[in-house]
Each structure stands twice: as structure tokens, then as C-alpha cells.
Amino acid sequence: MNVGKNLEKMFSLEDKVVVFTGAAGGIGSAIALGMACAGARIALCDINENLLSDIQNKITEAGGKASSYLLDVTNKAGVTECIDKIGKAYGQIDVLVNCAGINKREGFMDVREETYDRIMDINLKGVFLVTQAVAPLMKNQRKGSIINIGSHNTGSILGGCSVYGATKCGVLSLTRSMAVEWAKYNIRANCVSPGHIQTALTVPTWEHPERSKYLLERIALDRPGYPEDITGVCIMLASDASSYITGTEIRVDGGCIAGGQPWDYDTEF
């Protein structure tokens, strides 16, 4: 037995078609690039046309294959049309990565109804609508892998993130429902929950001496996470290496949930 060749094939994404929402974000773009480098053909979906073009160019320059689609995940008609286009263009959808999401940190009593609705619509309804559109094709194929991006907030409450946390707990629940309902079609569904990841949006936090110290004291590995830290887990879940993994949550948080100092919920870090 050629163990090396078998392992290489097991983790390969060669010619798998991956639909990716939120592909232009810091975490999303890193995962999409990594999957493309592993051989996948990526259908990049996002509402930001300029950033979408940037990640498509990066993938192409790295020798990968990608196409891009403007998509508002909260618009059911638009979602249906977009997924139909992708299905016709590629003839298959092997993997769906639901990565579109937003947050606005506010105290519970400060959240306006329109803010609540917007976060719920993108983070939770978006996952629901896109997955509903992709699932029929996966059922017909009798195979598929759905990867929903969750959050540290599914297991630990952070001050000022009440609505965001609720959406991510909802995503985890939807993931388990998908896994149970669609197992008979050989469709797997899993949730990847990142911890404190350093992206362009969080650089000010990590560069702030007191804030970064506060966070690092609560992360067992004593460092921030990076988008690339999420990539390997997602490649594994998209590949045949995870053929017996479904309905679970994989936390990529540097040991934050397992140890470190307790959280001070009055601290605005």
C-alpha cells in the first residue's frame, strides 16, 4: 500500500466544485484560496464586487480556478438565481461553505430593531436560504459537504455580541438539523467555529497593548488565530478524509474554550 499516495488522494479537493459565500472577507478569502490550491474549483459569492474581484485574481495568480458571482444572501430570489447559474455552469456542487456574516458590538438594550434584523438576516437567514438552494443538487448527486462558519460565541458569551451570538448558535443548530435530515443522501454538514482571529478588521484590537494582553491571557496557545488556521480544517471537511464526520462543531480557538483566565463580562475588549 502506498500510504503517501492514499493520504494525498484522501485530502485532495481535485475538481470538486465549492460554492463559497462571504468569499471576500478576511477569513473567507483565506479559506477559498487554500481550497483552490488544494485543487477545488471555487464559485466565489459576495456582495462586495471589488473585493470579490481581488480574491478571484489571487486565486488565478496562484494557479487555481475560480469564478465570481455577486450575491446578497438575504434575497431569496437572488440566491435561487445565483445557485442555479453555478449549477448549470459547473454541472455539480460538491461543497458549500457558508461564511457570510456581520457583527455590530452593542449592549443588549442598545440594539435597534433594524440592526437586529440585519444581523439575523445575513448570519442566519442567509445560511438557511443558500443551503436550501444548494441542497436539491446535492441530493440528486447523493453526496455533498456543507461547512457552516460559526463562532467562539457558540460556547462562550462575549459582551456586546448578544444578537451575533444568537445567530451563531442558530447556525450550529441548523448544521445539526442538516446533518440528521440529509445523512441518507450522503450529505454531511459541520460547523467550524473560529476563536479570536486576526484580520484587517481586528488589527486595531491586537495592536492595542491592554486589549491584546487581555485576550492572550484567555487563549491557551498564547497567540491570536489567523485566517490560515481555519483553512486546514475546512479543507479536511471538504475532502474525503472527513467522510464519517457530520453534525459536529470543530472549534479553532487556540484552546480559548478549554482554559485560560475567566472572562470579565464588564470589560469592553
Report the catalytic residues: 164
CA distance 41 to 73: 21
- The helix/strand/coil state of 143 is coil
Q: 187 with 146: CB under 8 angstroms?
A: yes
What amino acid occupies position 210?
E
Q: What is the CA radius of gyration of the chain?
A: 18
C-beta atoms surrounding 125 within 10 Å: 16
C-beta atoms surrounding 6 within 10 Å: 10
Q: Check residue 97 and give left, alpha or beta (phi > 0: left; psi -120 to 50: alpha).
A: beta
Which helix (DSSP H) or strand (DSSP E) does residue 141 occupy?
helix 126-141
Distances from the Cα of 130 to the Cαs of 3, 60, 61, 134, 263, in angstroms? Answer: 37, 25, 28, 6, 35
The edge-to-edge listing of strands for the beta sheet with 249-252 is 65-70, 41-46, 17-21, 95-98, 144-149, 187-194, 249-252
